[in-house]
Structure formats: structure tokens, C-alpha cells
Structure 1
Amino acid sequence: MADLLDVAGRVAAVPLALLARARGGRPMHPRGVVLAARLTRTGLPRPTGVPWLDEAGTDDVLVRLSRGAGLPPRLPDLLGFALRAPGERPVDLLLSSSGRRPWSRRVPVLRRDPATTYGSIMGYRSPAGPVLLAAAPVAAGVFDLGARVGRGPEQPFGRVELGAQTEPPDPPLHFDAVLHPPPGLVADGPMARFRRPAYTAARAALGEPLDAVRPPAR
């Protein structure tokens, strides 16, 4: 099965690379806006052995809200919530508009309003078992980040407060959730094996594996 997924990812990488060149950078989610944001991690109530989920901390981050197919705003689209915590080892989260119930966070749902729930279609491996991440709006410009570990319930571990748009409003910020998972987590499962070669092709088409865009100082 893993070999088939790898082959499928390599096959998909060819049109994705061509699309990235045609669109000048992004094969998917071509339209979006990047916002400076503050991530405040409060930690999960039950330790998992993953510092990024367990420990409290505050980071200046970047969040890109986007439309998967780049359709006009009046039409539903697969919306994206991408978070970058810069550093020597950046952290990238890629979430897609999904069902509103914890059990449906992995089900992609077309929506118009970016103030919606987002889930990680791709899972992670951790010392405590499989991990799925999600974001849910709690106020205007504020999202709670949650994690479901193993068969347990989804629980909040942090909050993202969106700020001002960057300048330019949609800089060439390239996310890779497979290469840059949170510390202590490993991208795992069918979607990770499918995405890995596709991401590699997209980075090659873009010419730069990472960008130098950083959140402005607060």
C-alpha cells in the first residue's frame, strides 16, 4: 500500500509541478492572504510526550487563509488555514475546511466564509499515538487549536489571534507540512506518503525550498 501511495504521489507531482510554474508558484490554493498572528500555546491537559503540544509558549507566526481552487469568493471552495512558526526549524501546519464535529475534522467541506472549522487531513505519529490537529473559530479573528491524540477526544492546546496583513498581502510563502511538522510529531499515514513526492516536485518547480518571510516584531 505504501509503495502504491508513493507512486501515486510521484504521478501527481508531475501536473502539480507544471501547475506551479503556470501559476507562478502555487499549484493549489493560489489565492490567499497572509496575516501576522500570535500563537499562544497553553498545553494539553494530559501530557503526550510532544513538547509542542504539552508545553506553554508564545510565538509570533504567520497565517495564510486561502481558497484551494482559487474560485471567486461568491462560490464555495476548499478553504485553507496554513500556519508558519519561523525559526531554524520552522513549523508548518496545513489545515483544510472540514466538518464541524470532532469526528468529521478529516472530511473536507467546501465553504465560503473563512471563519469556519479546519482539520488536518494528514495525521501525525507521536509517542502517545496518532495525532490529528484542528482549528475552530471562537471570536472574530481568533481560532482555538485542538489536538486529538489516539482515540481520545479533541482538546484545545492553543489559540491563534490574527493580526494585520503582511506587505505584500500574499508573499511567496511556501508551506511543507511533511518536512516541517511540530517538534515531537512525524507526518504519517497515507496522506503523508502521498504528499511527500508532490511537495518535493512543487518545491523544485518554485526553485526555493524555504522562504525568508518572518512575522513583524510586536
Structure 2
Amino acid sequence: MTDDTSALPARLAGAALAAVIGAIGTVRGPRPIHTTGLLLTGTLRWRPRTVTRAGVAWIDDRPAGDVPVVARLSRGAALPAVLPDVIGLAVRPGAGEGDGDLLLSSTGIGVPGRFLLQPRRSPAGAVLSTLVPYRGEDGPVLIAARSTGPVRLPRRMEDVRTALDAEPWTLDLLFAPTLGRWHRFATLELRPAPGPIDAAEPRFDPVLRPPLGAGTYGWTRALREPAYAVGRRRTGR
């Protein structure tokens, strides 16, 4: 899909999505979706370099040591915990402002499942992906996280926090061409952050803060930017 052939449909879809998000925001406030969550901290441990490149500097230029991360786990529609919901995981690698923001949502891992949202009751065993590709040096690149433990996690965020205090949440990070096979490049380990279960900060924004070296396509910006602009206006950012 090229920017030229997809820009208009993406703009129309983006405007419609922004209108929906804005309407929900009149009821829910600054965070229309992913309203409540669980703040997490942890480390990103990179696997040794391989000959397979993603074409994204953040993935290919792998540091030797662990990288600190801050993250937020949330349920997309904030439905009651008894119901399935889209699981969201926002990750900011690096200290301070970090190296960009990575936003992942529960999907499948094959084709076409990696392009489809998949509601789940719990993050345990979930696959979460960027859903839309980044522009890499060698073509489109998807990023995903596959939960590897614990095997079981509760549904309510308060109970998830208690469970992760006892055993950290571990995930494999992977990249793939849009229709190609996945390649594991790092391991993410997360525990609950000290203090309140959730907070207004940090605010994650994959449109303005993509991972280092990850470009974006015009159609993906047209699709996502209007909705994120609504969120920024509501928070004054």
C-alpha cells in the first residue's frame, strides 16, 4: 500500500476515529480510551546481533547492557474486567525522555491476525503488536511483544499489580516485515512501578515519538494523528 493510493481513505478513517474519540472524551475526560492502567518499570535486555536486520536503528544498533524502561498496561475500552477487552502496552525505553514510544495492542501473530485487534480477558499469554508498520530502511516493519510469563494473570489491574509484585511479567520483543516471519531481538521484564497504581504521566505518543530510526508512512500518520491530536488537546500537551 502506497501513500498516494491510501492517503484519502486513511484521512477519512482518521477523521472518523478522532470524532469517536472526542465524543468518548466528553464523558471520560483526558484519556478517552485506555482510561485506567497499571504503571510498570523494568528492563529491556537485547539479544546478540544477527545477520537479519530490521532496518530500524532502535532494533539493529543493539546496546550491550540492559536498558531501563517505563511502561503502562491498560484495557482499551475500559470494559468491566469480566469482559474481554483490547489489551494495550505502552513502552518507553531509555532514561528520561527515552528513545521514543512504542504502543502495542493485543492482536494475533500470523497473517491476517497481526493486523486485527484481538480482545482478551488477561494479558497472560497475549501477543501485542504495533498493528500498522513503521517505515524501515529496507521496507515496512512491524514490532510485537509476546508474553512468556507468568502463565496466568488476573483480569483486574489491582490484582495484576499484586501478581507482578511476586513474579515479573516477561515478554519477547520481535520484528517482522508486514507478511514475513518474526525475529526475536530483545526480552522485556516488567514490574509494578512504586507509588500509585496509575498516574497522568507519562503520556505516550507513537506519532510524535516513534522509536529511534523508525519512520512512518503518510497513510499511517493520516490514520492515527487526528485521534492523538484530540488526546493532546484534552491534556494541554
TM-score, normalised with respect to structure 2 = 0.79
Structure 2 residue aligned with 1:123? 133
Is the CA contact (8 Å cut-off) linking 1:63 and 1:83 kept in structure 2? yes
Work out whether 1:134 is the aligned partner of 2:144.
Answer: yes
How far did residue 60 of structure 1 move?
1.1
Structure 2 residue aligned with 1:163? 191
Give the counterpart of 2:222 among 190, 193, 218.
193
Structure 2 residue aligned with 1:72? 80
Structure 2 residue aligned with 1:106? 115
Moved more, 189-198 or 139-148: 189-198
Work out whether 1:92 is the aligned partner of 2:92.
Answer: no
What amino acid maps onto 1:128 in structure 2?
Answer: D
Give the counterpart of 1:50 among 52, 56, 70.
56
- Quick one: distance in 1 between partners of 2:40 and 2:111? 26
Q: How many residues are aligned here? A: 208
Specify whether residues 31 and 182 from structure 1 end up closer, same or farther in structure 2 by C-alpha distance, changes over 3 A only: same
Is the CA contact (8 Å cut-off) linking 2:10 and 2:222 kept in structure 1? yes
- Quick one: distance in 2 between partners of 1:21 and 1:41? 42
Work out whether 1:3 is the aligned partner of 2:8.
Answer: yes
Give the % identical residues.
36
SS in 1 for 2:92: strand
What amino acid maps onto 2:122 in structure 1?
Answer: D
Specify whether residues 107 and 189 from structure 1 end up closer, same or farther in structure 2 by C-alpha distance, changes over 3 A only: farther
How far did residue 18 of structure 1 move?
4.4
Specify whether residues 193 and 96 from structure 1 end up closer, same or farther in structure 2 by C-alpha distance, changes over 3 A only: same
How far did residue 41 of structure 1 move?
2.3
- Quick one: distance in 1 between partners of 2:108 and 2:175? 15
Q: CA RMSD in A?
A: 2.2
- Quick one: distance in 2 between partners of 1:63 and 1:53? 18
**Higher strand content, 1 or 2:** 1
SS in 1 for 2:25: helix
- Quick one: distance in 1 between partners of 2:178 and 2:82? 38
- Structure 1, unmatched stretches of 5+, are 209-218
- Quick one: distance in 1 between partners of 2:73 and 2:97? 24
SS in 2 for 1:200: helix
What amino acid maps onto 1:69 in structure 2?
Answer: A
SS in 1 for 2:44: strand
**Higher helix content, 1 or 2:** 2
Q: Segments of 4+ in structure 1 off by > 6 A?
A: none
| CA deviations over 1:170-198 (Å, ceiling 9, x no partner) | 11132211111111111226443211122
What amino acid maps onto 1:133 in structure 2?
Answer: I
- Quick one: distance in 1 between partners of 2:48 and 2:208? 23
Specify whether residues 180 and 190 from structure 1 end up closer, same or farther in structure 2 by C-alpha distance, changes over 3 A only: same
TM-score, normalised with respect to structure 1 = 0.85
Structure 1 residue aligned with 2:211? 182
Give the counterpart of 1:41 among 22, 46, 60.
46
| CA deviations over 1:95-141 (Å, ceiling 9, x no partner) | 11111447522221111111211111121111111100110012221
